[in-house]
Amino acid sequence: MSEENNLHLPANDTLGDIIIAPEVIEVIIGIAASKVSGVYGMQGSFSENVAALFDRKSARHSKGVYLKTEEDGLAVDIYCYVEYGVSVPKVALEMQEKVKQQVLFMTDINLKEVNVHVEAVVPEKVTIPDFDDLMELEDDHEE
């Protein structure tokens, strides 16, 4: 990783520098976002999904999180799936608040923007009846 991508935090000159890799912030954002009630999961790119298959923890937690360094601060784009039946604006707003709060608490960095992109609504899981239950229903209809 190149040094220019790292974030330098203001520190006490007598103690030394504090440098945080962007991947650390992405992981913090991914964990905070995925813990919001109503979020089904995070959307990742093909390479992130492959890395998650091989159990790279950082790839699992930063999936769907894209950090951008802009002149006036850091911006983040979060791509997620929400559960069916939730208020999408409320979930997105809570995600924005939790992410900003957690990044500020853990790194002392105030994010300029938190953009939430809801990519899909995931329906409730429907239980598939087993074969015997179906046969009993058919027998009941024949009588």
In tens, the pLDDT along 29-77 reads 999 999 999 999 988 654 544 555 555 554 445 689 999 988 898 999 9
Identify the bridge partners of residue 115 per DSSP, sorted by sequence position.
Answer: 77
Q: What pLDDT sits at residue 111? A: 96
Q: Does residue 100 surpass a pLDDT of 90?
A: yes
Please say whether the beta carbons of 30 and 65 come within 8 A.
Answer: yes
The C-alpha atoms of residue 84 and residue 59 are separated, in whole angstroms, by 26
Q: What pLDDT sits at residue 88? A: 97
Average pLDDT, the chain: 82
Please say whether the beta carbons of 79 and 119 come within 8 A.
Answer: yes
The C-alpha atoms of residue 114 and residue 100 are separated, in whole angstroms, by 7
Q: What pLDDT sits at residue 87? A: 97
Q: What pLDDT sits at residue 4? A: 61
Tokens of 127: 């239980």
Neighbour tally for 103: CB within 10 Å? 21
Q: Quick one: which of 105, 36, 104, 87 has its CA closest to 64?
A: 36
Q: What pLDDT sits at residue 2? A: 44
Q: Does residue 91 surpass a pLDDT of 70?
A: yes
Q: Quick one: which of 35, 102, 110 has its CA closest to 75?
A: 110
> Where is 74: in which H helix or E strand?
strand 73-83
Q: What pLDDT sits at residue 17? A: 85
Share of the chain above pLDDT 70, in %: 69
Q: In angstroms, how far is CA 26 from the centroid of its own chain?
A: 9
